[in-house]
Amino acid sequence: MKYPNGFYQMDSRIFERGLKPIAFVVYNYLVSCAGSQRSCFPSVRTIAGKCSCSESAARDAVKQLETLGLIRKEYSYRENRYGVRQQTSNTYAILPLPDYYENGQPRYAQPEELPL
């Protein structure tokens, strides 16, 4: 969630996810872009520039975030003036933080599993 003057809110459980530094910075950047909409669409070039890393490092970070179930990358396309479909910037959906991981897959506690 974004606040006035450039502030945004971050779930502190992100520190427990074992993210590599670049993935941590990329996640924070995507969350700050997404705001209350929970999605954003910066280009890889923009992510890399804002996060002070290479484009390949930004792509690797996005892959790590997807694998951990923190974001979902959705491919976006449009037709150019010749009717050819071209990929544009991806849309990144910020997902709720998983409660735990089982066999490397993100899992969410069922209401009956939650402590009282």
pLDDT of residue 64: 95
Beta bridge partners of residue 106, listed in sequence order: 101
Tens digit of pLDDT for each residue in 73-86?
A: 998 888 888 988 88
- On average, the pLDDT of the chain sits at 86
C-alpha distance from residue 46 to each of 41, 60, 71, 116 (Å) = 10, 15, 17, 43
| Least-confidence region, from 18-22, 30-34, 99-103 | 99-103
Task: Give the rounded percent of residues in the chain with a pLDDT score beyond 70.
Answer: 91
pLDDT tens, residue by residue, 7-20:
888 888 899 888 99
CATH number for 4-113 (one of 1.10.10.10, 3.90.1300.10, 3.10.20.30, 1.10.630.10): it is: 1.10.10.10
pLDDT given for residue 23 in this prediction: 97
pTM for this model (two decimals): 0.80
Write down the pLDDT at residue 116: 43
Task: Please name the residue that has the structure tokens 């945004």.
Answer: 8
